[in-house]
Homo-oligomer: A and B are copies of this chain.
């Protein structure tokens, strides 16, 4: 059984919450389906089958798809956020994709060809020039299943598939040769993405067990390889009532920025940049040796939705780490934007030493210094 001290503490720090399915089942019975438990109100529970986590049928495919690891994290986390718009976390349980197998996903991600008729990327037209060749539009693809519980059984009640689409396709003219770039215009990316979305829905409807559940297809713009922040979602469509295509499209206005600005890039709202800049100045003054302080920010529909700050500095003792962490929390409270979740990691050359975070909906910061006996 899971104990809860109070609903306040729970909302405050994402403390472990009890959950109907997770807390009453046992993972010892070999036939039972249970869940991972719910970390906080706004998170899905995951499916455990026969005592093991039900991993994705296409596990490991996405890892090899991307040279920029920020794209992997932001694609998967963003896909969960899009799903939450259609599948409420208190009603649905998250299951790693079970309908697209590894081989299928790999085929879909490849170019269409005689030997690979299901490839979603265009045929190789034989051209090598940046502007004449057919680029790879689709870089990554991921399925997420949303289950509902009826008695002790979970059944598929929704599905989300994310399509990660390139703004730049990186390619080599010869193996191990130089890397060239084919730029893809926004109009082309949007059009190709929506076309693929309809094709994917059509194919999924034919799969046994999918039936008439709502299918969400989310379109993601991959960040370029040199980006210090991942890409962003720009649209999602829903196929309802068992339709073979998207029945309604929604625009998603999402933007990511890096602070301080790199090469005069845009930084989002001036207010957030300024408050970060003040915070950075305070933190960098703290030690005689300067700290590196950078942040990723995300905006949804023009409004700041969160900030992830990364601080790197050299520490000479545990007490310096503890004092620095306290100081960072104090300055974050003073300077960083209020009303949005903020995550601050404090690292040395030997890894993360401490972290400071204000969770969604909270006013105060949680601090933790990693220790050892």
Residues on B with C-beta less than 8 A from A77 are 318, 371
Contact B364 A3 (CB under 8 A): yes
Q: Is A323 an interface residue (CB 8 A)?
A: yes
CA distance A55 to B324 in the complex (A): 11
For A57-68 the 0/1 string (1 means CB < 8 A from B) is 001101100000
CB distance from A95 to the nearest CB of B (A): 10
Contact B39 A329 (CB under 8 A): yes
Contact A52 B286 (CB under 8 A): yes
For A302-323 the 0/1 string (1 means CB < 8 A from B) is 0000101000000011111011
User: What's the interface size class on A, roughly?
Assistant: 35 or more
Known A3-B333, A333-B3, A372-B229: A46·B319 in contact at CB below 8 Å:
yes
Q: Is A249 an interface residue (CB 8 A)?
A: no
Contact B330 A16 (CB under 8 A): yes
CA distance A9 to B45 in the complex (A): 24
Q: Is A367 an interface residue (CB 8 A)?
A: yes
Q: Which of A316-351 contact B (CB under 8 A)?
A: 316-320, 322-327, 329-330, 333-334, 343, 345, 351
Known A43-B322, A330-B36: A363·B287 in contact at CB below 8 Å:
no
CB distance from A37 to the nearest CB of B (A): 3
Can you pick out 24 interface pairs between chain A and chain B where the beta carbons lie within 8 Å of each other?
A5-B363, A5-B364, A8-B9, A9-B9, A12-B12, A15-B365, A38-B326, A39-B329, A40-B367, A43-B326, A46-B326, A51-B285, A52-B285, A52-B286, A53-B320, A63-B317, A70-B372, A73-B371, A76-B317, A76-B318, A96-B317, A296-B372, A308-B371, A343-B368
Residues on B with C-beta less than 8 A from A279 are none
Q: Is A166 an interface residue (CB 8 A)?
A: no
Given pairs A16-B330, A352-B370, 20 additional interface contacts (CB within 8 A): A2-B333, A3-B333, A5-B364, A9-B9, A9-B12, A9-B13, A12-B12, A13-B15, A14-B366, A37-B330, A48-B327, A53-B286, A56-B317, A59-B317, A73-B371, A74-B372, A76-B317, A144-B319, A296-B372, A308-B373
